[in-house]
Amino acid sequence: MSFPRPNRVHFETQQGTVGDPTGYSRLPGFVVIIFLLFSCTLCQRSQAQLLHMGTEIPPEVDAIYERGLAFLARTQDPQTGSWRGRRENGVTGLCLMAFLAGGEDPNFGRYRRNVRLAIRALIMGQDKSNGYFPNSMYHHGFALLALAEAYGAVDEATLWNGSEGLEDRRSIAEAIEQGIDLAGKAQNNNRWGGWRYSPTSTDADTSVTGSVLMGLLACRNAGFNVPGDTIDKALNYMKRNTATTSGYVAYSGGLGGGTESVNRSAVATLVYSVGQKKEWEEYEAVSNHISERLKHRESGHRHYYIYYMAQALFQADYESWVLWNRTTARKLASEQAQTGSFTGSYGEAYGTAMSLLALALNYRFLPIYERF
């Protein structure tokens, strides 16, 4: 059993007579006005429905996704539930997100066992003493994001079936609440108001901060109590690193400028959108910056780029996202290996999960993919 794919919403129009293709000349003026107003209303509603439900899924996207999920299912460790042969909480979180984003029912679908194993791996991989998802705050942010998206969608009555005797069994909510608490404490010890690689870091950067912030925003959207001060301090850290004239986002230091990085501008666009700061001039600067660079080709951290660029464009500029999505789907179709995998800078599981998530906005099943 799987969720139905979203389809294109369309309306049929009736042609008028030759020489009057609209047929308006045969109607009284006030009727024409009412008809036009009604048509505009229908058009607005259809556009809103398109944004919410999505258009028809391009065939190449479905093909890429099917093969990619099959690869992730085959390569998941059946004992630990993780990927890469050891616990990598961030990678496991991204792979879990890829399964959840594809529309398969997490409780009855063909990949339900993979979903349960991945969730259990994250919960058991968390440090119970402080709530940290090692091995870095990157991992912590992606793990929080994945669990927040799984919360409420996965039937926890069956989550631990077949794992009797495990002492680390806890609920998804317990793991999330501990993770939120750890992020808050780490931020309070950081003079910049953001995050760096370690929970004890006293410096910060916009890349790690974006990852943790998206995890916390997902938790808040799922109904968890995330202190407003924690969100505000992180958003203001991003703001201090954003140049309003160029849309450049600095890596660290609170300089409000720095060299160009489409990656960081995409991260900033996304957190400003989901953090409901679209009225900020910094948001306008970064969203314009990425919309003008649809042909950008990232060489250093390509999967990181397409993951964030997809979400940022979808939030900020839907028409640009449609164009970018079509090009990216064709590119990924040519790069996918026969095994269904994608080679990534952090391994095949990472490259595959990030590639699938870059296309997952075609489906829009995850709450974090709603437009804010």
Dist CA 285 CA 321 (whole Å):
17
Q: State residue 86's pLDDT score.
A: 59
Residue 140 near residue 133 (C-beta atoms within 8 A): yes
Tell me the DSSP string of 208-265. HHHHHHHHHHHHHHTT----HHHHHHHHHHHHHTB-TTT--B-SSSS-S--S--HHHH
Q: State residue 239's pLDDT score.
A: 96
Helix, strand, coil share (%) of the chain residues, nearest 5: 55, 0, 45
| Residue extents of the structural domains in the chain | 1-52, 62-369
Amino acid occupying residue 161:
N
Dist CA 219 CA 221 (whole Å):
5
Residues 250-309: tens digit of each pLDDT: 998 766 556 789 999 999 999 999 999 999 999 999 999 999 999 999 888 899 999 999
- The DSSP secondary-structure symbol of 77 reads -
Q: State residue 165's pLDDT score.
A: 55
Nearest CA-CA partner of 272 in 354, 196, 209, 336: 209
The number of residues making up the chain comes to 372
Token couple for 154: 């996965």
Dist CA 118 CA 93 (whole Å):
7
| Cis ω before 362 (30° cut-off from 0) | no
Query: Which CATH number is correct for 62-369, 3.40.50.970, 1.10.3720.10, 3.40.50.700, 1.50.10.20?
Result: 1.50.10.20
Q: State residue 256's pLDDT score.
A: 58
Q: State residue 14's pLDDT score.
A: 31
Pick out the chain residues at pLDDT < 70: 1-55, 85-87, 163-167, 254-258
Residue 158 near residue 119 (C-beta atoms within 8 A): no
Residues 109-148: tens digit of each pLDDT: 999 999 999 999 999 999 999 999 999 999 999 999 999 9
